[in-house]
């Protein structure tokens, strides 16, 4: 006689919640750390409030965070290539005027 294996937790969720996809059942189990009872609660909560975000789920960022504004530190060299070229011209002009004195 062969022993009967317990059903997979994912299959248990799919059997208990009509229309629950394999992917959603697996995700609920991952989010619940493999705990079937917590996964059941997550599925119930998500079905009751499909637009709400759960406290235990990371928020999805809709947009990239803008880069920080440039520093006002005078010692810090700016990254614009155009500025380097302008600086070289300005330095040359300064040297030219300094040699006239």
Distances (CA, A) of 8 to 21, 61, 68, 73, 100: 14, 33, 48, 60, 88
Query: pTM higher than 0.75 for the full model?
Result: no
In tens digits, what is the pLDDT along the chain, a chain of 101 residues?
Answer: 568 888 999 999 999 999 999 999 999 999 999 999 999 999 999 999 877 655 555 554 455 677 777 766 555 555 555 555 555 556 677 777 677 76
Query: What are the phi and psi torsion angles at 87 (to 5°)?
Result: -65, -40
Q: Which helix (H) or strand (E) holds 33?
A: none
- Token pair of 42 as six digits: 């997550």
């Amino acid at each position: 006689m062969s022993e009967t294996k317990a059903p997979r937790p994912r299959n248990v969720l799919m059997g208990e919640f009509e229309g629950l996809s394999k992917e959603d059942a697996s995700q609920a189990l991952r989010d619940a750390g493999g705990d079937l009872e917590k996964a059941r609660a997550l599925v119930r909560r998500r079905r009751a409030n499909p637009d709400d975000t759960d406290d235990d789920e990371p928020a999805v960022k809709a947009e990239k965070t803008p880069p920080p504004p440039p520093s006002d530190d005078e010692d810090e060299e700016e990254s614009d290539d155009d500025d380097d070229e302008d600086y070289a011209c300005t330095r040359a002009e300064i040297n030219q005027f300094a040699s006239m004195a």
